[in-house]
Amino acid sequence: MPRDTGTESAMTSQLTRRHMLMGAALTATAVVAFAREPRETMRRLKPGELEAMIPTQIGQWSFETRSGLVLPPDDPLVKSLYSDVLTRVYVSEDRPPVMLLIAYSNTQNGMLQLHRPEVCYPAGGYSLTETKTKSLDLGPGIQIPARFFSAESPSRTEQVMYWTRIGAESPTSWIDQRAAVIRANLNQVIPDGILVRVSTVLPDYGSAEPVLREFASAMIRDLQPNGRKLLVTG
C-alpha cells in the first residue's frame, strides 16, 4: 500500500511544533524557577549569641536552672533543624516559677521547619487540651497571636503559652507556617524562624495565664532592640 507522504509530513510537522512548544514552556519554567530561587538569608546567630541576648533577670523572676523542661525529641532531624536552643527556669519570691524555651533556626525551608509544642509534649507522655489562639500584648505597638494549652502527665500539669515567628510573620499553625516560608521564598528570601515557649506548673489555666502573660511582656520589655526583633518582629 503506497505511503501518504503528505499526511506523514503534516504529522511530523505537528509533532515538531508540539515538542518545540513543550521545550519552550519547560525553559520558561526553569528560568522563572531560577529567578525565584531564594538567595538571601534573613539572619544567622553566632554560637552563644542567643544565650547572651536573654537577660537572667526578667521582671520579678530570676534565672535559677536549665533543667526540668519538656524538650524537642532528641533525634538527628531536630538537631539539624535548630541552630540554637535556650532552656531556663526562672523563679520569683511571690510568683510561680516559669519555664522558658527558645528554639532558633536560621533556615526555614520545605525540608526544615519548626516543631510545635503540640508535637513535643505528647512525645513526652503528656495529653493536651484543645489549643486556643489569643492575642498577646507584649508592649507598645507589639501585639501578636499566641497559642495556649494545658499539658497533663501522671506527674504534673503544665500550662503552656507559645508563639512562633517565621521571617516577619507570626503563624499560628503548621499550614500558616508553611505559607509564610513560601511567601518569603517568592521574595527570594530564606527566612529564619523562632519558637518562644513559656510555661508554668499550675493545676488550672485560669490562674496561669496572667502569670505567663506578665513574664512574656517583662521579657520583651527587658530585651535590647535586637533581641525584640529576633523574638517578635523579625
Q: Which helix (H) or strand (E) holds 62?
A: strand 61-65
Instruction: For residue 21, name the pLDDT band (cuts at 50, 70, 90).
Output: low
Predicted confidence (pLDDT) per residue in 149-182, tens digit: 999 999 999 999 999 999 889 999 888 988 988 8
What's the CATH number for 40-233? Answer: 3.40.1000
Confidence (pLDDT) at 81: 64
What residue spans define the domains of the chain?
1-36, 40-233
141 vs 234, more confident:
141
| Rg of the chain taking only CA atoms, in angstroms | 25
220, 46 contact by CB (below 8 A)? no
Q: What is the pLDDT of residues 208-220, one digit of tens each?
A: 999 999 999 999 9
- Residue pair 146/136 in contact (Cβ under 8 Å)? The answer is yes
Evaluate whether 181 touches 110 at the Cβ level (below 8 Å). yes
Give the three-class secondary structure for 207.
Answer: helix
- DSSP codes of every residue in 21-44: HHHHHHHHHHHHHHHHS--EE---
pLDDT at 42 over 60: no
Q: pTM to 2 decimals?
A: 0.78
Compare 22 and 228 and report the one with higher pLDDT: 228
pLDDT in tens, 52-109: 999 999 999 999 998 888 876 555 545 556 678 899 999 999 999 999 999 988 765 5
CB-CB contact of 215 with 90 (8 Å): yes
